[in-house]
Amino acid sequence: MNYPHKNYDLPRIMFGVLFIALMTVASIWVVQPFILGFAWASMVVIATWPLLIKIQALLWGRRSLAVIVMTLLLILLFVLPIALLISSVVDNGGALVALASDPSKLHAPQLQWLQAIPIVGNKLYYGWQGLLHGGNGAVMGKIQPYIGQAAGWFVTQAANIGRFVLHCSLMVLFSILLYSRGEQVGMGIRHFAFRLGAERGDAAVLLAGQAIRAVALGVVVTAIVQALLGGIGLAIAGIQYATLLTVVMFVCCVAQLGPLLVLIPAIIWLYWSGDTTWGTVLLVWSCVVGTLDNVLRPMLIRMGADLPMILILSGVIGGLLAFGMIGLFIGPVVLAVSYRLISAWVNEAPEPEKDLHEVAQDIEDMKHS
């Protein structure tokens, strides 16, 4: 009996695929400690690559000198401020937890300045005094658990400071390598993408780079500027834990919630404690800081369309829960890249031209045929 000739060797294919899968898993397992640092460095390098080229042109075309300048800028403008903020969280977190754990230490102010308000000042003052004498302990007892939970969460995040410092160090190291060999790395990524998806894969790499730059410049840089300016206002106004509140403000700005979630309670506290002069100054300063993103973000995002706010918010919250503080940067970028790639893939096909009733009628006709 003559058996048909087989054009393929099924066991060989199965073992080959299994070997490739094992090697892939083993490789990911080996480089897993460095993935976050490399991802962070990639985003920083992609976002600042045009600046590197300009600095290189000013330094007689010497890439090595430009890399040194960019590394110093990363340390001074990025790594050092974040390290100081994290250190402040660690230093001030214990005091906040101790304050929140003892409700007797939380006392409401007397608000003597209410008496200076014309016509209704005395009524407001005596009404506030009645509230204090009647339910101050109950009010503070209800607020205390939430303060304790918030302070405990920040201390828990700050407990990972060793891991965060490690990722910062890896980020600087990988950034130096990428700055030095950026063209070769970029061509290698494009070559790999072209091998996978031809022209579409190459276009996907370009879209990914644009999305990374949009998030890094339009979202992160804007958040850093707003948080720093808001923190300066808090420090000048004499608000306690100004550095810690700057960290909270930065998180709110990246989440597109704005710095006013921190600044408004600080203004209320200043008026509450009777410091109306600095309360008014901080109020004016908060109006400037709160509207700054409407001017700064469009200048930084040099792309045709902005990214949806719900996408940025989801990326920030999901990234923070998944990766810790470094997820503030990684989460929005991952979702932005995915969003741009899916949008480009969907837009390759024309929109449906038929009306919904026509489509429903076609379905009914198919059922009866």
Read off the pLDDT of residues 213-259 as tens digits, 9 standing for 90 and up: 777 777 778 888 888 899 899 989 888 778 778 878 887 887 677 88
Q: Would you state the pLDDT for residue 304?
A: 45
Any domain includes 22: no
Place of tokens 């410049």: 217
Alpha helices in 181-302 (DSSP H): 182-215, 222-237, 242-254, 260-272, 276-300
Any domain includes 363: no
224 token code pair: 């850093």
Confidence of residue 347 (pLDDT cuts 50, 70, 90): confident
Instruction: Give me the domain span that covers residue 292.
Output: 196-348
If asked whether residues 267 and 160 sit together in one domain, one would say no
pTM, entire model: 0.66
Any domain includes 136: yes
C-alpha to C-alpha distance for 28 and 10, rounded to whole angstroms = 27
254 token code pair: 């990246």
If asked whether residues 218 and 329 sit together in one domain, one would say yes
pLDDT digits over 53-69, tens only?
999 999 988 999 999 99
48 token code pair: 């600042």
At residue 359, does pLDDT exceed 90? no
The CA-based angle 95-98-100, given to 5 degrees, is 105
pLDDT digits over 130-189, tens only?
666 655 455 555 555 555 565 555 555 555 666 677 777 888 899 999 999 988 998 998
Q: Would you state the pLDDT for residue 323?
A: 73
- Domain count of the chain? 2
If asked whether residues 52 and 133 sit together in one domain, one would say yes
**Domain end marker among 149, 183, 217:** 183
Question: Which positions ≥6 away from 115 have C-beta within 8 Å?
Answer: 121, 122, 125
Question: Which positions ≥6 away from 260 have C-beta within 8 Å?
Answer: 286, 290
If asked whether residues 335 and 266 sit together in one domain, one would say yes
At residue 263, does pLDDT exceed 80? yes
If asked whether residues 272 and 343 sit together in one domain, one would say yes
First vs last C-alpha separation in the chain: 47
If asked whether residues 97 and 118 sit together in one domain, one would say yes
If asked whether residues 248 and 111 sit together in one domain, one would say no
Any domain includes 164: yes
Cβ atoms 97, 165 nearer than 8 A:
no
Q: What percent of the chain has pLDDT over 90?
A: 15
